Amino acid sequence: MPLSLRRKLAETLGAPSVLLIVTAGALAYGVSTSVVTTAYDQNLLNQAHRVLQQIDAARGEQGVRLTTETVPHASAETRVFFRIGNLRGKTLAGEPALPLPDSIASYGDPYSALYAGAQPEPAAPPRPPQRMFYDARYQDEPVRALQLFREIDGQGYLITVAETLEQRHGAMSQLLIGLLSVAVLAAAAAALAVRFGIPSALEPLEQLERALRARGANDLAPIDLNRVPREVREVVHALNTLLARQEEANAAQHAFLQDAAHQLRTPLASLQVQLGLLQPAADTDPAVLERLKRSVTRVTRLANQLLSLARAEAGEHLRASATQVDLAALIDGALDDWLVDADAKSIDFGVERAAASLCGDPTLLRELLANLVDNALKYTPAGGRVTLRCLHTDQGIVLEVEDNGPGIPAEARDAVFARFHRLPDAGSSGSGLGLPIAREIARRHGGRIELSEGAEGRGTLARVILPDSH
């Protein structure tokens, strides 16, 4: 799986966020449970104290006087039970069956010896705790109970108050719903932060990506460090260094290519002149001399194409030699040579041109037309048809060269723009530089070149679209 910065950030932020929400929810639930339990336990304690205030120890077992105001009251949701007893287990008021804490039975009655007429032991047995909360079951229901011990005028009393748990559970349910709502909102906020915050943080990188994608093949200008995030400036700086090295290498390659083409043109031109003046000897085969002339012509053409390619790739040359070019006059100037080549193969060569001009390099534009027309004449079989058009359209100036030759398969139309690429079944010799040079010249003039099928699905239609300078 390819590395994704977006996924890495989401995982880095998402896991701690979920853990934080879960941990905070657990802590909040625990604290809230303790608060609710403490609040309701305090209510039990208050009721037990009200009961305790009604005990009159002087009247013994008859000393419990409970009024309507002091009897623990039940609510609509919760039932309340109470019991007042002594340490001998006798119930003085309330529910006799209300369960006591398990530890109470072990304490016994410290006054039982006095009741029997005997002297008490020197060391009195331990007394029950002053206050004890506990959980029990009463009448087949869970209850929360409070056991309160008080000694009044030498007599020990146990006051027990218990309540069912409906109201506590209701309060906890409401609390849980509130906590759950907060957790859901927190999770939604975290999800929104991950969903929209990460793309927003990565937007500068995406802008950088779009800017690099929009660049031309030969645009090696450095990236402005002030327009990239500080965290990736070192990476962009390294990329700028690489672009600078590549630009230097390209410049050296273009200089070598241009120098080599220039150096080849002079001896090749001289060689062509010498071959033209050479008279074949009596024992020399004229066909050999003709093949030699054709070979020199091809090498000369290749040198000229290499020079044109170097010029097309050099933006400085285009800017220096840019002028207003009349395309109709440019076509007329090369028409005689094309007609000679077409007549040699009995090709019907037609021209449809409208008045059009644009700002550009006349030498490069002439090379653009020459490459397209030469390719069409070269690959169209004898007796075929080639048409050159120069049109004005809404898109700009359109140059079209159409033939009814073998055509170029759709899957190979991108590959033929690679340098020195030739189709496997190409019947004619060539350098494989014509279409790459044509595309580079079109690009340098702000245009593009497209390949498609010719009329009736046969042959090739090369279409160049150039911006109108008017």
Q: pLDDT tens-digit profile of 309-338?
A: 666 666 545 555 678 899 999 999 999 989
Rounded-to-integer distance, Cα 324 and Cα 319, Å: 12
Pair 305, 330 in one domain: no
Q: Is residue 103 part of a domain?
A: no
Question: Of residues 272 and 88, which shows the higher confidence score?
Answer: 88
Rounded to two decimals, what is the model's pTM? 0.47
Q: Is residue 26 part of a domain?
A: no
Pair 246, 330 in one domain: no
pLDDT bracket for residue 111 (50, 70, 90): very low
Domain boundary among 284, 313, 342: 313
Rounded-to-integer distance, Cα 47 and Cα 160, Å: 10
> 367-408: per-residue pLDDT in tens?
899 889 988 998 899 999 999 999 988 888 999 999 998 888
> 251-293: per-residue pLDDT in tens?
776 666 666 666 666 676 777 676 666 666 555 667 767 777 7
Question: Of residues 137 and 31, which shows the higher confidence score?
Answer: 137
Rounded-to-integer distance, Cα 468 and Cα 360, Å: 11
Tell me what pLDDT residue 58 has.
47
Pair 346, 392 in one domain: yes
Residue 119 has pLDDT above 60, yes or no: no
> 408-453: per-residue pLDDT in tens?
888 888 888 887 777 766 655 566 778 888 888 888 888 999 999 9
Question: Of residues 421 and 351, which shows the higher confidence score?
Answer: 351
Pair 262, 348 in one domain: no
Q: Is residue 350 part of a domain?
A: yes
Tell me what pLDDT residue 397 has.
93
Q: Is residue 459 part of a domain?
A: yes
Pair 300, 356 in one domain: no
Pair 386, 449 in one domain: yes
Pair 331, 301 in one domain: no
Look over the chain and give the mean of its residue pLDDT values, rounded to a whole number.
Answer: 79
Tell me what pLDDT residue 124 has.
52
Tell me what pLDDT residue 78 has.
82
Domain coverage including residue 303: 220-313
Q: Is residue 229 part of a domain?
A: yes
Q: Is residue 145 part of a domain?
A: no
Q: How many CA atoms lie within 13 A of 284 on its CB side?
A: 10
Q: Is residue 290 part of a domain?
A: yes
Of 228, 224, 223, nearest in space to 205 by CA: 228
- Cα torsion 222, 227, 228, 230 to 10°: value is 120
Rounded-to-integer distance, Cα 226 and Cα 157, Å: 84
Rounded-to-integer distance, Cα 55 and Cα 67, Å: 11
- Cα torsion 49, 54, 60, 61 to 10°: value is -90
Q: Are 463 and 398 in contact, with CB atoms under 8 Å apart?
A: yes
Question: Of residues 280 and 102, which shows the higher confidence score?
Answer: 102
Secondary structure element (H or E) that encloses residue 441, with its range: helix 434-444
Tell me what pLDDT residue 217 has.
66
Domain count, the chain: 2
Rounded-to-integer distance, Cα 136 and Cα 123, Å: 32
Beta-bridge mates of residue 225? none
Residue 466 has pLDDT above 80, yes or no: yes
Domain boundary among 281, 313, 345: 313
Residue 29 has pLDDT above 90, yes or no: no
- Strands of the sheet containing 80-86, edge to edge, are 91-94, 80-86, 155-164, 141-152, 131-138
Strand runs (DSSP E) across 279-435, as ranges? Answer: 323-326, 348-353, 357-360, 385-393, 396-403
Q: How many CA atoms lie within 13 A of 134 on its CB side?
A: 16
Residue 165 has pLDDT above 50, yes or no: yes
Q: Are 98 and 82 in contact, with CB atoms under 8 Å apart?
A: yes
Residue 157 has pLDDT above 70, yes or no: yes
Mean pLDDT for 194-205 is 79
Any idea what the CATH number is for the domain that residue 390 is in? Answer: 3.30.565.10
Residue 181 has pLDDT above 80, yes or no: yes
Residue 111, sorted as left (phi over 0), alpha (psi -120 to 50) or beta, turns out to be: alpha
Domain boundary among 290, 313, 336: 313
Pair 457, 336 in one domain: yes
Pair 291, 416 in one domain: no
Tell me what pLDDT residue 122 has.
47
Tell me what pLDDT residue 193 has.
77
Pair 307, 335 in one domain: no
> Would you give the DSSP letter of residue 140?
T
Tell me what pLDDT residue 309 has.
65
Q: Are 401 and 372 in contact, with CB atoms under 8 Å apart?
A: yes
Q: Cβ–Cβ contacts within 10 Å for residue 303, how many? A: 20
Tell me what pLDDT residue 191 has.
80
Q: Are 144 and 158 in contact, with CB atoms under 8 Å apart?
A: no
Any idea what the CATH number is for the domain that residue 292 is in? Answer: 1.10.287.130
Tell me what pLDDT residue 86 has.
82
Tell me what pLDDT residue 260 has.
63
Pair 336, 268 in one domain: no
Pair 300, 414 in one domain: no
Q: Cβ–Cβ contacts within 10 Å for residue 178, how many? A: 12
Q: Is residue 303 part of a domain?
A: yes
Measured between alpha carbons, how far is residue 150 from residues 87, 126, 318 in Å?
11, 14, 109
State residue 384 phi and psi, 5-degree precision. -85, -165
Secondary structure element (H or E) that encloses residue 100, with its range: none
